[in-house]
Amino acid sequence: MGTLGLDSLSRRYGGTVAVERVDLEVAEGELVALLGPSGCGKTTTLRMVAGFVPPSSGTVRIGGRDVTRLPPHARDTGMVFQSYALFPHMSVGRNVAFGLEMRGIGKAERETRVREALRLVRLEGLEDRLPRQLSGGQQQRVALARALVVNPAVFLLDEPLSNLDAKLRAEVRAEIRGLQQRLGLTTLFVTHDQEEALTMADRLVVMERGRVRQVGTAEAIYARPADLFVAGFIGRINVLRGRLEGPGRFLAEGPTGPAATLPCPAATPPARPVLTIRPERIGIRPGAESGIPARLVQTAYLGPRTEYHFDLGTPGSGPVPLLAIRDTPGPAEPLHRLRTGDAAGLHWEAEDALLLPDDPA
Partner 1 sequence: MAALVLPATLLVLGLLVAPMAILFRISLDRYSPTELVQEALTGENYLRAIADPYYREVLGTTLGIALLCTLLALLIAFPAAWWLARLEGRRRSLAVILTLFPLLVGNVVRAAGWMALLGRDGAINAALRGLGLIREPLGLLYTPGAVVAGIVAVVAPYMILTLATVIEAIPRNLEEAAANLGASPAAAFRRVVLPMALPGIAAGCVLVFILCMNAYATPVLLGGPQFKMMAPAVFDQFVRGTNWPFGAALAFILLLVTLALTLAGSAALSRRTAPR
Residues that bind partner 1 (CB under 8 A): 50-52, 71-79, 81, 83, 85-91, 94, 98-99, 102-103, 130, 146-147, 150
DSSP 359: P
**C-beta of 73 vs 167, nearer to partner 1:** 73
**C-beta of 162 vs 261, nearer to partner 1:** 162
**C-beta of 99 vs 286, nearer to partner 1:** 99
Q: How far is the CB of 144 from partner 1 (least distance, A)?
A: 13
Which amino acid appears at position 218 of this protein? A
**C-beta of 76 vs 175, nearer to partner 1:** 76
Q: Are 54 and 48 in contact (CB under 8 A)?
A: yes
Nearby residues of 17 by Cβ (< 8 Å), 6 or more positions away: 10, 11, 209, 210
Q: How far is the CB of 20 from partner 1 (least distance, A)?
A: 24
Q: How far is the CB of 216 from partner 1 (least distance, A)?
A: 29
**C-beta of 115 vs 309, nearer to partner 1:** 115
3-state percent helix, strand, coil for the chain, nearest multiple of 5: 30, 35, 40
Q: How far is the CB of 156 from partner 1 (least distance, A)?
A: 8
Going from the C-alpha of 201 to that of each of 58, 209, 344, the distances in angstroms are: 25, 21, 39
Q: How far is the CB of 79 from partner 1 (least distance, A)?
A: 5
* CA dist., res. 266 & res. 277, Å (int): 15
Round the CA-based radius of gyration of the chain to a whole number and report it. Answer: 25
Q: How far is the CB of 6 from partner 1 (least distance, A)?
A: 18
**C-beta of 77 vs 191, nearer to partner 1:** 77
Between strands 238-240 and 273-277, the pairing is: antiparallel
Of the candidates 106, 338, 359, the one whose C-alpha atom is nearest the C-alpha of residue 230 is: 359
Q: How far is the CB of 93 from partner 1 (least distance, A)?
A: 10
Q: How far is the CB of 202 from partner 1 (least distance, A)?
A: 23
The residues facing 65 across adjacent strands are 62
Q: How far is the CB of 132 from partner 1 (least distance, A)?
A: 9
**C-beta of 6 vs 80, nearer to partner 1:** 80
**C-beta of 47 vs 203, nearer to partner 1:** 47
**C-beta of 154 vs 198, nearer to partner 1:** 154
Helix (H, G, I), strand (E, B) or coil at 261: strand
DSSP 262-307: EE---SPPPSSEEEEE-GGG-EEEEBSSSSEEEEEEEEEE-SSEEE
C-alpha angle 29/33/35, rounded to 5°? 170
Indicate the burial class of 233 (C-beta count within 10 angstroms; 0-12, 13-18, 19 or more): buried
Going from the C-alpha of 132 to that of each of 89, 96, 181, the distances in angstroms are: 9, 15, 30
